[in-house]
Structure 1
Amino acid sequence: MSFKNIVRELKEMTDSIGSVSRRRGVEGKQWRNCTRSHIAPDLPQMDDTAESRWAHLPPELLLDIIRRVEESETSWPARTVVVHCASVCKPWRDVTKEIVKTPEECGRLTFPISLKQPGPRDAPIQCYIKRDRATSTFRLYFGLTPSEDESDKLLLAAKRTRKATSTGFVISLVADDFSRASSTYVGKLRSNFLGTKFSIYDSQPPNDEAFQANHSRSSRRFHTKQVSPRLPACNYNIATISYELNVLRTRGPRRMNCSLHYIPISSIQEGGTAPTPKCFPQENLPVSSSSTSLTSSSLSVKENDHLVLKNKSPRWHEQLQCWCLNFKGRVTVASVKNFQLVASVGSSDNVSDAEQNKVILQFGKIGQDIFTMDYRYPISAYQAFAICLSSFDTKPACE
C-alpha cells in the first residue's frame, strides 16, 4: 500500500469513528467540537474494533509512517492529517506526540497544548482576530489573512462579559462553549473598574512540575463537586497588564506594560528558557477537593527578575500628522488599539540591544473588525491573545 493510500484510509477511518462518537452524548459533543477546530480537546476513547486494524503495526514502521506524515504536512489545513494520526489509537497517539515538536522548535501549531507553549525564537507565528460586535465574541485564527474558502483554522475564541465593576473575557478552545466548567475552557481575562489594569488567568500551572499550594496565586473557578473530578478547578494568575493613565489628555498613543509572572527575563537571552507545559492537566492530573489551592508558586519568578513587556514608542510623522510604527505591512488601518511590545529591561540586565528591540507581540487593524496578531518566544498564543483582548476594552482614562 502506498504512503498516500495510507493517509487517505486514515482520514476515512477517523471520519467513520467520528460518526460513531456523535451518538455518544457528551463524547459526541466533544468530537463535533474537534471538527470545528483542528486544535481541540482530546478525542474520545475509540472502540477496540476500530483499533484492531492499525494498533499492531511494527513500531519501526509506525514511527516511519508518522514521521513522514509530520514532515510532509507543514501547513494547515493539510496538517489535519497529523491530528488524524494521533486519533487512530493509543499507540499512534503516543508516537505522534513524541514526534511532533513544540512551536519553539518547529514553528508549527498542532495539538491544543501548542497554544500554551512559547512561540518560535526566529520568526513570529502570524495569526489574525475576527471581532463579532453583535455577540461580543472574538476569534483567533491561524494564518496571514482571512481566506475566501472558509478554511480558516480556529485556535481560540473569547466572549466578553460586562459587570458593574469590571469587564471580563472568557477564553475557550471552541467558539460555542464558554462555560468555565467545560473541558474546552483555557483561561480568562479580567479588568479593574477603570479598565486600566487587567489580570490574565490560566486554567493550568505554567508547566507540568508546578503543583505547590499557595492561595495568593490561584482562584476557584467553581465548586469541585459540580464537574468531573478530572477537570482542574483553579485559575492561575500568570500576568498583569497595566495601561498608563492619561487624565490630562496629552497627545500620544496608549502606553502599556505587561508583567509575566512566571517567565524570567533570562528567557530572552541566549540559552534562556521559558516555562513550557507538555499537556493539559485533565490528561494526567486527578483533581481532588483540595485542588483549589494548586499553583505554581515553586516556579514563580522574583518581581525584579520576571519579564516585563512595554509598548514600543512610535514616532510622530509631521507630514501625516500622526503617530507611526513600522508594522512591516501587517497593519494597514490606523487605530488606537495598534501596538508593538518589546522587552523592558534595566541597566543591570544582561540583554543585548538586538533582543531589546525585537518585537515579541504585534497587534493591529487591517479591516472592519479584523486584526492581525503576530507573536514569538517567550510568550504563547494564549498569552498573546489575552494581551490583545485587553486592547478591545474601552479605556476612557487612558486616551
Structure 2
Amino acid sequence: MSFRSIIQDLRDELGSISRKGFELKMGHGLRSRSHRVVHDALGPPLVGALRQSCWANMPPELLRDVLVRIEEGEGSWPVRKDVVACAGVCRSWRDTMKEIVMTPELSGKLTYPISLKQPGPRDFPLQCFIRRNQSTQTYHLYLGLTQALAADGKFLLAARKCRRPTCTEYLISLDADDKSRGGGTYIGKLRSNFLGTKFTVYDAQPPHAGATVSRSQLTRIIGPKQVSPRVPAGNYPAAHIAYELNVLGSRGPRRMHCVMDSIPASAIEPGGMAPTQTEFLHNSLDSFPSVPFFRSKSYRTGSLSGSVSGLKEEMLVLKNKAPRWHEQLQCWCLNFRGRVTVASVKNFQLVASEENGSSNQEEEKVILQFGKVGKDLFTMDYCYPISAFQAFAICLSSFDTKIACE
C-alpha cells in the first residue's frame, strides 16, 4: 500500500473524529465556529471505541513516519485540527504524537491548550488579535490565520470583566462561553487595585516549581452553604503590572512596567530558559481527561523544577518602549510595523528593562505589542519568553480605566 493510500484511508477514518473533537461542547457548549477552543479532548466513549481500531496495530516505524508527515504538512489552522485528532485515536498514537509535537518556543505553533501557557517563539512573534464586546464586558483572543487585520481567526482564550467594590477582576478561560471561576476551563485571572494603576496576574496552577499560592481556595461559598469547589484552582502570582502617574495628563503616553514573577531574568540571555508548563493539573481541567497534553522532547530530560530551581534568582522586568514625538503629526509615535492603525493611549510595546542588565539589542527587541485597529478590535503580538496567557492578561490591564493616569 502506498503512503498516499494510507493517508487517504487515515483521513477517511479521522474525518468524523476531527469534526467531533473540535465541535465537542465544553461546559455550556461552544455556539459558533469562531469560538471553538484549541483542544485535544475526545470524550471517553469515543476514545474507548477507537482504542481497538485497526490503526492501533500499525508498526511503530510506519506510525511515526505517517504522524511526522501529517504534523509537518499541517502547520497552521484550521487544517492542524487533524494533528489533534491523531492524538485521540489510541494510546500508541498519543504517545507518538507527544514525541513529535514541539512547544511553541521551538515550533512556532499553537496546537494544544497547554501551548497557551508556554513561552512563544524565539525568532518571530505570534500574531493574535483581541475582540472586545463592551455591552457584555467580555474579551476574546484569537490567533490570526492571515495577514489581514480584520480577518477571522482561531479562538484561543476569553475573559470576562467583573467589577468589585475595591477592585476589578478579569476571569480568563479556555471556553468562550464559560468564563466563571468555578468552570472547568478557568485558567487564571487579572486583578487591579482601586485606582486601576496596579495589577496582578494570577495563574490557576503553579507556573513554576516552588510557586506559592497567595490565598487558600479550598472552599467557596454558594449562598449560605460552604462547599468544595469543582476546580481546585489556586492564586499563584505570575506577574505584577504597574502604571506610573502621568504628569502630562491625557496628552502624554502611559508608562508601565511588568515584573514577571514566573520568569527569571536569565531567560532572555543567550542559552537562557523560561519555565515551561508541560501539562495541566489532573484535577484542574476536568474537560480534558482523556488525552494527556504533549511534552516536548527537548523538555523531557530537563524538568521544570530542575531548570528553574524555584525561581529564586532575579525576576524578569519588562517596560514599555518610550515613544518619540513626531513634530509634523503632533503626536507620540511607535513603529508597530503596520500592525496598529488607530492612535490610542492603550497602545504599547514591551521590551526588557535595563534593570535586568540586558544588552541594547535585547532592550530593543519587542516582546509584546498591543494596539488598536478598530473600535473594538486590537492586535496582540507576543514572543519568547512570555506565553499567550501572560500576554493576554497584560493586554487586559490596558483596557481598564486608570483614574490616576488619565
Change (3 A) 1:270 1:14: same
**Partner of 1:263 in structure 2?**
263
After superposition, residues 230-245 of structure 1 pair within 5 angstroms as 231-245=231-245
Among residues 311, 319, 329, which one is paired with 1:300 in the alignment? 311
CA displacement at 1:265 relative to structure 2:
1.0
2:182 alignment partner AA = A
For 1:222 and 1:169, locate their aligned partners in 2 and report how far apart those are by CA, in whole Å: 20
| Aligned residues of 1:40 and 1:173 also touching (Cα < 8 A) | no
| 2:224 counterpart of 1:226 | no
CA displacement at 1:219 relative to structure 2: 4.4
Unaligned residue ranges in structure 1 (runs of 5+): 23-27, 287-295
Asked if the contact 1:140–1:155 (Cα under 8 Å) also holds between the matched residues in 2, the reply is yes
Q: How does 1:304-323 map to 2 (within 5 A)?
A: 305-323=314-332
2:352 aligned residue (334, 339, 343): 343
Change (3 A) 1:311 1:319: same
Contact 1:266 1:273 in 2 (8 A): yes
Q: What amino acid is the match of 1:68?
A: R
- Structure 1 residues 89 and 29, CA gap change in structure 2 (3 angstroms): same
Q: Could you list the per-position Cα deviations for residues 35-91 of structure 1 after superposition, in whole angstroms to 9, with x for gaps in the alignment?
A: 742513633223533321222222222211111110000111111111111122222
User: Which residue does the alignment assign to 1:291?
Assistant: none
Residue number in structure 2 paired with 1:325: 334
State the Cα distance separating 1:340 from its structure 2 match.
0.3
CA distance in 2, matches of 1:72, 1:10: 18
The 1-side partners of 2:341 and 2:284 are apart by 44
Kept in 2: contact 1:30–1:44 (CA 8 A): no
Across the aligned residues of Structure 1 and Structure 2, the Cα RMSD in angstroms comes to: 2.8
Could you say which residue in structure 1 is the equivalent of 2:381? 374
What is the CA distance between 1:182 and its match in structure 2? 2.0
The structural deviation recorded for 1:389 is 0.3
Q: TM-score, normalised by structure 2?
A: 0.84
CA contact under 8 A between 2:218 and 2:229: conserved in structure 1?
Answer: no
CA distance 1:225–1:64, shift in 2 (3 Å): farther
* Counterpart amino acid of residue 38 in structure 2: I
Query: Which residue identity lines up with residue 39 of structure 1 in the other structure?
Result: V
Q: Distance in 1 between matches of 2:40 and 2:16?
A: 19
**Aligned partners of 2:244, 2:400: CA distance in 1, in Å?**
14
In the alignment, the residues of structure 2 paired with residue 184 and residue 381 of structure 1 have an alpha-carbon distance, to the nearest angstrom, of 16
- Residue aligned with 2:57, SS: coil
CA distance in 2: counterparts of 1:16 and 1:319, whole angstroms: 54
User: Contact 1:181 / 1:222 at 8 angstroms: preserved in 2?
Assistant: no
1:48-127 alignment runs, 5 A limit:
48-53=48-53, 54-127=55-128
Kindly tell me: are residues 345 and 18 of structure 1, through their superposed partners in 2, closer, same or farther at Cα, counting changes over 3 Å? closer
Match of 1:39 in 2: 38
Contact 2:349–2:368 (CA under 8 A) maintained in structure 1: yes
Classify 1:200/1:284 alpha carbon distance in 2 versus 1 (closer, same or farther; 3 Å): closer
Do the aligned partners of residues 250 and 133 (structure 1) sit closer, same or farther apart at CA in structure 2, a change above 3 Å counting? closer
The answer to whether the 8 Å contact 1:37/1:154 transfers is yes
Cα distance, 1:9 vs structure 2: 2.0
Q: Which secondary structure state, in structure 1, belongs to the residue aligned with residue 56 of structure 2?
A: coil
Q: Separation in 1 of the partners of 2:196 and 2:228?
A: 31
* 1: CA distance, partners of 2:270 / 2:21: 45
State the SS of the aligned residue for 1:271.
coil
Structure 1: distance between partners of 2:136 and 2:252: 31
Distance verdict in 2 for CA 1:162–1:33, change over 3 Å = same
Do the aligned residues in 2 keep the contact of 1:232 with 1:281 (CA within 8 Å)? no
1:379-394 mapped onto 2 (5 Å cutoff) = 379-394=386-401
Distance 2:20 2:330 in 1: 60
Partner residue of 1:290? none
Q: Which residue of 1 aligns with 2:9?
A: 6
Q: Which has the higher contact order (CA 8 A, sep 6+)?
A: 2
Q: Secondary structure at the match of 2:399?
A: coil
CA distance in 1, matches of 2:229, 2:104: 31
Separation in 2 of the partners of 1:221 and 1:243? 32
Is the partner of 1:323 in helix, strand or coil? Answer: strand
1:205 offset after TM fit, Å?
A: 1.1
For the residue of structure 2 that corresponds to 1:126, the secondary structure is: strand
Count of residues in Structure 1 that have an aligned counterpart in Structure 2: 372
- The answer to which of 353-362 and 274-283 deviates more is 274-283
Structure 1 pair 238–385 and aligned structure 2 pair: CA distance change class (3 A)? same
Q: Which amino acid aligns with 1:226?
A: S
Aligned counterparts of 1:82 and 1:147: Cα–Cα separation in 2: 27
AA in 1 matched with 2:352: A
Task: Say if 2:158 and 2:173, in contact at 8 Å, map to a contact too.
Answer: yes
| In structure 1, distance between residues paired with 2:187 and 2:174 | 7
Aligned partner of 1:343: which letter? A
Question: Aligned partners of 2:193, 2:137: CA distance in 1, in Å?
Answer: 19
CA 391–10 in structure 1, closer or farther in 2 if over 3 Å, else same: farther
Indicate if the aligned counterparts of 2:149 and 2:373 stay in contact, CA closer than 8 A: no
- 1:181 CA displacement: 2.0
Q: CA deviation at 1:15?
A: 5.1
